[in-house]
Each structure stands twice: as structure tokens, then as C-alpha cells.
Amino acid sequence: MIAEDYGKIDLHLHLDGSLSAETVLKLARKEHIELPADTAERLRPYLTARADCRDLNEYLRCFDLPLAVLQTAANLEEAAYELGKELGEKGICYAEIRFAPQLHSRQGLTQEEAVRAVLDGLGRAMEDCEGRISLKAILCCMRRDKKHAAGGTKGNDDQADPDIGNASYAANNIETIHMAAKYLGRGVVAADLAGAEGLYPTRDHEEEFTLARQLGVPFTIHAGEADGPESIWKALEFGAARIGHGVRAIEDEKLMDELARRGIPLEMCPSSNLQTKAVGSLKDYPLRDYLNRGIRLTVNSDNMTVSDTWAGKEFALLSREYGLTEEEAVRLLNYAKEAAFEMQQE
């Protein structure tokens, strides 16, 4: 089996970071949105992080254009459909696609309308692929600073965020958890926490995940990517069933033991981890250290367009530059099968 063939499952894949340049162009034209380039080739540099990208904050700026075109139900449906179809064509058989419903409300779309649009698009893609692929959704809450998280009042002197106007960030995250509960088992499989981890710590988001636990919504949390081991400890304390990235667990022996003992899968995304500087080079990638300790690792793309990759390409990269063996690849793929939220809900 060639390395790329191990890319059958993607558990960590953002919708907005995975739209092809062609899709962004098509959706922008429909809405008469002006873009900085008018061909896919010229648009691509705006959507893909440079190899020498400075950090997670710079990486996150590549999401501006895709988000600008994903503000109507029709465009969200089509984006989810195009992505699902592309995954099917690549031979992926199971993917969990994540997005933050609250980031699609600039033109008045409700979170529920955004969720339904994405589920419709994924459903249409599955039909087109005639059962060769199963596509599920993960709903992301967004990291915000304490001032915003605590504020529920309108106006104040806070700058209005283009994504959510003056609404309370905390209230939006709470609504996202309620949406995840409502659509759990109907296309949605879990919740998540995304955004700039280095700026907004995990510890400020206890309320969201206390509610998720109460409502029986499983969740993963981006942790140990831009922030250190304490972020992962917090995510575990909240009850995360999986950890997004978790590359910085390597700094804490006790934490690695805990992840192994509890069988908490890590959703690793090598290319993205290099771009956001979560690791310096693939030689320092903690993959083998984790596997040897019995930590359940999975390999994922994070953002197919921003990181110019897909799950199969990540396996090929690891095989070429890290010396990943067949045996290790099989183990990673098996861990991914077992870590799938769909699997845990059956």
C-alpha cells in the first residue's frame, strides 16, 4: 500500500479552511463579492498559508476570504457539498467536517440555518458518492477573551466584530452547544473549541463544556497547539473525548501518561503544525514518542486549502520526511477508526 492510501479518514478538517479556490471564486461571483484576484491560480496565495508563516495568528488570516463568501445558506450548502464530493473523489471514506455556526451570521443567518445548510450539503455529497463516504459535522465554539466572554450587553466600547456584531460571544458559544445537542445523531457528532489558543486560554471556556456534558454532547478541544500542556490538562478536566493537535503534550511526562491511560485520541495535523510553528520541523514531531507511550494518535489535514494538503498527503509526508513505517501507518489508521465520534455513538 502506498502511503497516500492510508488517508481514508479525516477527523480534523475545517470547512472554511478547505474550500478550493475554484469554489471560493464561484461562491463570490454568486453574491457579487469582490475578491483580490479573478482566477483560481491567482486567488490561491490568499487562501494558502506560506511555508514561512509566522504563527497560528497569521495562519488564521487565510480564513478571511472563505468566511466572507460563506454568509448565506445557499453558499454554505454548496461549500459543504463541494468539499464532501472532493473528499469522496480522493477515496476518503469517513470525515468529520467542522465549522463555527456563529461565524456565518454577518448577513443575519442564524446558527441553526447555518447548521442545516451544511448538513444539507454534506447529505447531497454523500448521495452523489453513492454510499462510499460518510460525512459528519462538528460544531465549533470560538475562543474569545474574558472581557468579551463576560459581556452580554450591547454596544459598550467594544469594537463590533464583523462576525457577530455586538452579540455576546459567550451566548453564541452556548447556542452552538445547544445546536450540537439538537442535531446530535442527525449529522452532527460533536462540539469543539477553535480559534486563537495563544491569545484566549482554554480555562475561560468552562461554561460551554459544562453544558455540553450536561446535554450529553461529546467534544474535542483544540489544545496544546499554540498554548502549552496546561491547555490540554484543562480540556481533559472539562471532559474532552479527543484533543485537537496536542503537540505540546510532549513537554509534560505526566500528561502523556494520562492521555495514554485514558485512551484520549490526539488529532494530529503535521503540515498545519509546521505552519503554525507548533513544531519546528518534522524531525521534532512527537509522533513516535506518543505512539511508543501508547497514545492514540490520528493523522488529519486540518485545512486542505490553507495547508495545501489532505489526509493522504499527510501520510505521504510523514512517510517521506519522518520515516513513518507501514506498521505505524496501519496503527494510526486503526486509531482513527476507533476515535471517530460516529463509532462512539453507535
Nearest approach in angstroms of CB 221 to Zn ion is: 10
Binding segment for Zn ion (CB under 5 A), chosen from 46-54, 249-257, 296-304, 314-322, is 296-304
Q: How far is the CB of 41 from Zn ion (least distance, A)?
A: 26
Contact yes or no for 138/345 (Cβ under 8 A): no
Task: Say if CB 90 and CB 7 are below 8 A apart.
Answer: yes
Which residue in the list 82, 197, 225, 314 is annotated as catalytic?
225
Query: Using CA atoms, how far apart are residues 298 and 283, in angstroms rounded to an integer?
Result: 18
Q: Which is nearer to Zn ion, 82 or 302 (CB)?
A: 302
Our CB check for Zn ion shows the closer of 96 and 302 to be 302
Give the count of residues interacting with Zn ion (CB under 5 A): 1
Of 151 and 265, which CB lies nearer to Zn ion in the complex structure? 265
Measured from the CB of residue 29, what is the shortest distance to Zn ion in angstroms? 28
Beta carbon nearer to Zn ion, 28 or 189: 189
Query: Which window, 65-73, 101-109, 110-118, 300-308, contacts Zn ion (CB under 5 A)?
Result: 300-308
Report which residue's Cβ sits closest to Zn ion: 302
Q: Which stretch binds Zn ion (CB under 5 A): 61-69, 156-164, 172-180, 302-310?
A: 302-310
Q: Which three cell numbers stand for residue 70?
A: 460563506
Q: What minimum distance in Å lies between the beta carbon of 153 and Zn ion? A: 31
Q: Which grid coordinates belong to 112?
A: 441553526
- Residue 167 CB, shortest distance to Zn ion, in Å, is 24
Residue 35 CB contacts under 8 Å (≥ 6 apart), including other chains: 24, 25, 28, 43, 46, 65
Cell representation of residue 208: 460551554
Cell numbers at residue 194, please? 477553535
Q: Which alpha helices (DSSP H) does the chain contain, by range?
A: 21-30, 40-47, 56-60, 64-69, 73-89, 111-128, 146-150, 169-183, 206-215, 229-238, 253-262, 270-275, 287-292, 311-321, 326-339, 341-345
Stretch that binds Zn ion, among 3-11, 35-43, 297-305, 309-317 (CB under 5 A): 297-305
For residue 338, indicate whether it is catalytic. Answer: no
> How far is it, in rounded angstroms, from Cα 23 to Cα 35?
13
Whichever of 59 and 233 has its CB closer to Zn ion, that residue is: 59
Residue 325's contacts (CB-CB under 8 Å, 6 or more residues apart) are: none
**What single string gives the DSSP state of each residue in 21-49?**
HHHHHHHHHHTT---S-SSHHHHHHHHS-
Q: Applying CB under 5 A, which residues contact Zn ion?
A: 302
Which residues belong to the active site? 225
